[in-house]
Structure 1
Amino acid sequence: MKIAVYGQKLEKNNITYLNQFLLYVFNNSIEIYIEKDFFKILLSFKEFRNFNIPVFSNYKELKGVDLMFTFGGDGTILSAIPLIRDSGIPIVGVNTGNLGFLATFSKDVFLKEIDKIFQKKLYIIPRSLLYLETSIKNLNKFFNFALNEIVVFRNETVSMINIDVHIDDEFLTSYWSDGLIISTPTGSTGYSLSCGGPIISPDNKNFVLTPISPHNLFSRPLIISDCKKLHLKVHSRVKYYSLSMDTRLLSLKKENELFISKAPFYIYLFQERKNTYFKTLREKLLWGVDQRN
């Protein structure tokens, strides 16, 4: 078996867990590769300085990998997506961060279930993505897929922007707001939720459009089928507007129109049987904390 490991940082209290994981890998003769920058972080700790592990730096070097292990929170998984792309490599998200909607394995559970993970006896959950095209081909090497959301918002101005939205070539409305979030069901518990958007379980085939601080009492989040295609045109007092896709950010000229649709592939996440999506919602959003319930 061949695995890859990715992370963005390492806290001292997580060294023991990662060390136990690496020893398990070596003892079971599992081929392992670690992302280059994360390996540099590991080498800053004496516990890992004697490890001689090959590194990778881009998606082309992950050919033949069976599993990707991420150590961190949901942001770490989102940052790993450009490395995985359409390879179909399942992600095992070990939660050493805060929220953990995507990284559902706690450190203790992860080590207890490690045999089942390598034997692929746990659930593999597919998650849909958004795909972005632009009218001006200036994305260069920007990875134009998003697992959580695509966000359009104002740039270098305190004034609101206008965003014309068409769905399947039919005009929907013009949002006068700070911006607009186009979210997948996976991303519905993220930025969209904080702006008043609905929570959508990941087995639904939908997108949600959530305006950011709209100057219109009748602007509300809208759920649409993920087979629909969106066309966005931005009007602003300044030359540029901002575009974010998960953890990636860039500025585009307002003449640059956006075309958004469902991606032709899925990202696959490992999940233990008892750790269901609704259980995660209940725990992470503190549902039922009121003792009167």
Structure 2
Amino acid sequence: MKVAIFGNVNREEVAIYSAKLIYELGKRDVAITCEPYFLEFLDRNGVNTQDITTFAEGKEIDADVAFSVGGDGTFIRSVAKIARREIPLLGINAGRLGFLADVDGEKEIVKAVEAIASGNYKVEDRPLLKLSTDGKRFSKFNYAINEIAILKQDTSSMIAINTYINGEFVTKYQADGLIIATATGSTAYAMSVGGPIVVPQASNFIITPVAPHSLSIRPLVVTDDCLMELSVES
């Protein structure tokens, strides 16, 4: 088995939990790989990294399972890097909230590694958003587990966002921005601007405007198999 580990290099707890994770995986002869900057972080914090390999930024990751050690931000970034390969991801909370993490504490790390090594686990599928643009700005990591946000920048004026679903024009949002959220992300940014809470198992995306210039504009819930096209006017 080969495991990829992602981690937040700005928190000391990450080194502690990563050391425990690496030790438990090493006992079971599991091959471990991580990003070069995370390996440097582990080395600086005295973690044994002798048999750990690294993978290049932007390259496809070869792993059977991945771990995210940190908070929700680390988990979200990890998803974007492994989405193309559909690698199962398990979050270990070493952050503040850890809403997306299933493992909390060193004892739970041991149990998690034992379960994965023995195949005694199940994978919960979560819909992702995939972003395509005219340019190549997001070509490497164009998947999102929570949301994609189109926001105004460096201006006090609103932006106009023409919205199409499956080729049909829906509306033009005059607003400070627009959030396209998954069911998982419905309790994140979208909720803070008035979007509905949707259970994670629901097959839906939520379109929520940010400060819309209209009393009649409300969040819109759509199926997660639709194609949304957005064009922005200043």
TM-score, normalised with respect to structure 1: 0.73
User: Which residue of 225, 228, 233 maps to 1:227?
Assistant: 225
Which residue in the other structure is 2:97 paired with?
99
Q: Percent identity?
A: 36
> What residue number does 1:246 align with?
none
Deviation at 1:116, TM superposition (A): 0.9
Change (3 A) 1:138 1:19: closer
Distance in structure 1 (CA, Å) of the matches to 2:225 and 2:139: 26
Alpha-carbon distance in 2 for matches of 1:69, 1:142? 20
Q: Matches of residues 151-170 of structure 1 in structure 2 within 5 Å?
A: 151-170=149-168
The answer for unaligned runs of 5 or more in structure 1 is 237-293
- Is the 2:7–2:14 Cα contact (8 Å) retained in structure 1? no
C-alpha spacing 1:74/1:171, structure 2 compared with 1 (3 Å) = same
2:201 aligned to which of 188, 200, 203: 203
Aligned residues: 233
Kindly indicate whether the alpha-carbon contact (under 8 Å) linking 1:58 and 1:83 is maintained by their aligned counterparts in 2: no
Per the alignment, residue 285 of structure 1 pairs with none
Q: Which residue of 1 aligns with 2:119?
A: 120
The alignment partner of 1:32 has SS state of strand
Q: CA deviation at 1:130?
A: 1.4
Equivalent residue runs for 1:60-75 within 5 Å: 60=59, 62-63=61-62, 65-75=63-73
What is the one-letter code of the residue matched to 1:24? E
Tell me the equivalent position of 2:190.
Answer: 192
Task: Report the CA distance shift for 1:192/1:140 in structure 2 as closer, same or farther (over 3 A).
Answer: closer
- Map 1:252-267; keep pairs closer than 5 Å: none
TM (norm. structure 2) is: 0.90
CA displacement at 1:41 relative to structure 2:
0.9
The answer for the alignment partner of 1:250 in structure 2 is: none
Q: Return 5+ residue gaps in structure 2 as ranges.
A: none
Aligned Cα RMSD in Å? Answer: 2.0
Q: What residue in structure 2 maps to residue 253 of structure 1?
A: none
| Distance (whole Å) between structure 2 residues aligned to residue 22 and residue 154 of structure 1 | 43
CA distance in 2, matches of 1:13, 1:161: 41
Check the 8 A contact 1:209/1:223 in 2, yes or no: yes
Cα distance change on mapping 1:13 and 1:229 into 2, 3 Å: closer
Describe how 1:13-52 pairs up with structure 2 within 5 A. 13-45=13-45, 47-48=46-47, 51-52=50-51
Q: Give distance in 2, aligned partners of 1:110 and 1:69.
A: 10
1:3 paired with 2:3, answer: yes
Q: Deviations over 1:34-73 (max 9, x none)?
A: 221111111111x22673522122464532x211111011
* CA shift digits 1:239-261 (9 cap, x unpaired): xxxxxxxxxxxxxxxxxxxxxxx
- What secondary structure, in the 3-state scheme, does the structure 1 residue paired with 2:42 have? helix
Tell me which protein shows more strand as a share of its residues: 1
Q: Retained in 1: the 8 A contact 2:149–2:179? A: yes
Give the partner amino acid of 1:124: V
Give the Cα–Cα distance (whole angstroms) in 1 for the partners of residues 40 and 32 of structure 2. Answer: 16
Name the aligned partner's letter for residue 4 of structure 2.
A
* Deviant stretches of 4+, over 4 Å: none
Counterpart amino acid of residue 194 in structure 1: S
Higher RCO structure (Cα 8 Å, ≥6 apart):
1
Deviation at 1:16, TM superposition (A): 3.5
User: Is contact 2:42-2:49 (8 Å) kept?
Assistant: no
